Amino acid sequence: MADLPDLDTLRIGIERIDSEILDALRRRMDLADDIARAKLAAASPLRDPTREDLVLRKVREAATSHGLDPHEIERIFRLIMDMSVARQQALIQRLDTTPLRVGYPGIEGSYSHMAARDRYAGRQGGVLLTGFETGREAMDALRRGELDLALLPIENTSAGSMSETYDLLAAGSVTIIGEMLSQVDHRLLGLPGARLEDIRTVLSHPQALAQCELFLRKVPWIRPLPEFDTSGAAQKVRERNDPTIAAIASESAAQRFGLQVLARDLQPASGDYTRFVELAREAAPVPPDVPCKTTLTVVLEHRPGTLGQVLTTLAQRGVNLSKLESRPIPGEPWRYRFYLDVEGHAASAPLIAAFEDLQPLTSSMKVLGTYPRAENWHG
């Protein structure tokens, strides 16, 4: 019988391998620091679920090829990923200039993400973007202090107003401190090799489906189905791997999920633009020489002609009304809350006088924010 290896020698070999594993983990954590800095500079979310799923899939395949239990290896790598994220968060907390924490509805590659990236990328100190499934979740995180800002879409040039955002603003606890205008350029995305005539279902956010209504009329064999997010719809097309399913989303989403552009020019020739509002827990000062806008909400006294009196009052005070929106008041059938966008600062003499004149016409009135007016329709 051959001599068995000495137990102490075997243990020394395991300790050597353990040391190599620890050294590899240290190098991985060092790379996690570099990734955190790169994400802050590029205004990318700290967590990337799609990337993580791809890594875990590769890990499971590699584990199987090495004769290891893929489920146990996946569990280990999930812990390593959590360690990496914790390392990145710790790095962010140590920075001399704390990065801005911004939330938006949707996942990476969505129009809200691209708008946030355009607005905050390059900011000194960095930006930490976080996507949420809904605007409500982003707003709740802002109220809890987990975010510094939230960027939510509020209206589109072809599909109209985003009712959810208006309803969230009515809940209070936040203020509008900015707005931006971003061009929306939809594409019809399918699996590589898919053909337009074979598509039977298209997934997208309800607003995107509404924006592409004219195109969808031309392809009556395609049934639209709403999803919470355009980029999330593109992700589902990739995951389902069904050539009869497509998504309406951005070119960026096509590149991110490896999809093929089946059709362009889904919107009117004049193009589509979405207006976003930037929300914070506290108001921000507006320089005196910057053209600004004020948003307020009012509930009118329930008597004939009150809305007409409000509009007349603003006109008499020389206040330009740029937007008027109404939303039903929950629990009060047939009563409505009105949202008004007016040009000027809430602290300016014309608006102070106008608001005083409006008081007798309203049962409640609240300024939701004064902020710089967006002038550039190209975002």
Give the distance between the most distant pair of CA atoms in the chain: 107
- Residue 235 corresponds to which tokens in the numbers above? 């992700």
Instruction: Please tell me which residue in 215, 276, 338, 355 is annotated as part of the active site.
Output: 276
Q: Which residues of 328-349 are buried (b: 16+ CB within 10 A; e: fewer)?
A: eeeeeeeeebbbbbbbbbbebe
CA distance linking residue 320 with residue 3, whole number of Å: 95
CA 239 from centre of chain: 21
CA distance linking residue 270 with residue 184, whole number of Å: 11
Instruction: Please tell me which residue in 175, 274, 297, 313 is annotated as part of the active site.
Output: 274
Cα dihedral sign, 207-119-256-264: positive
Q: Residue 258: is it exposed, middle or buried by C-beta count within 10 angstroms (0-12/13-18/19+)?
A: exposed
Q: Provide the pLDDT for residue 93.
A: 66
Which amino acid would we find at residue 119?
Answer: R
Three-state SS for 18?
helix
Residue 28: left (phi > 0), alpha (psi -120 to 50), or beta? alpha
> Which three-class secondary structure string do you get for 93-105?
HHCCCCCEEEEEE
Q: Provide the pLDDT for residue 99.
A: 85
CA distance linking residue 211 with residue 230, whole number of Å: 12
CA distance linking residue 355 with residue 141, whole number of Å: 32
- Terminal CA-to-CA distance of the chain, rounded, Å? 79
Q: Provide the pLDDT for residue 267.
A: 79
Q: Residue 182: is it exposed, middle or buried by C-beta count within 10 angstroms (0-12/13-18/19+)?
A: buried
Write down all domains in the chain, each with its CATH number in brackets: 14-94 (1.20.59.10), 100-184 (3.40.190.10), 187-266 (3.40.190.10), 286-372 (3.30.70.260)
Q: Let me know if 294 is a catalytic residue.
A: no
Three-state SS for 266?
coil
**β-pairing verdict for 187-190 and 149-156:** unpaired
Q: Let me know if 274 is a catalytic residue.
A: yes
Cβ-proximal residues to 278 (8 Å cutoff; 6+ apart), any chain: 119, 149, 150, 151, 176, 177, 178, 179, 180, 371
- The tens place of each residue's pLDDT in the chain, 379 residues long, gives 557 778 888 899 999 999 999 999 999 999 988 988 888 888 787 778 888 888 999 999 999 999 999 999 999 999 899 888 888 877 876 777 778 899 999 888 889 999 999 999 888 888 999 999 899 999 999 999 999 999 999 998 877 888 999 999 998 889 999 999 998 889 999 999 999 999 999 999 888 998 899 899 999 999 999 998 899 999 999 999 999 999 999 988 999 899 999 999 887 766 688 999 999 998 888 887 899 999 999 999 888 899 999 999 999 999 999 999 999 998 888 889 999 999 999 989 999 999 999 999 999 999 999 999 997 544 3
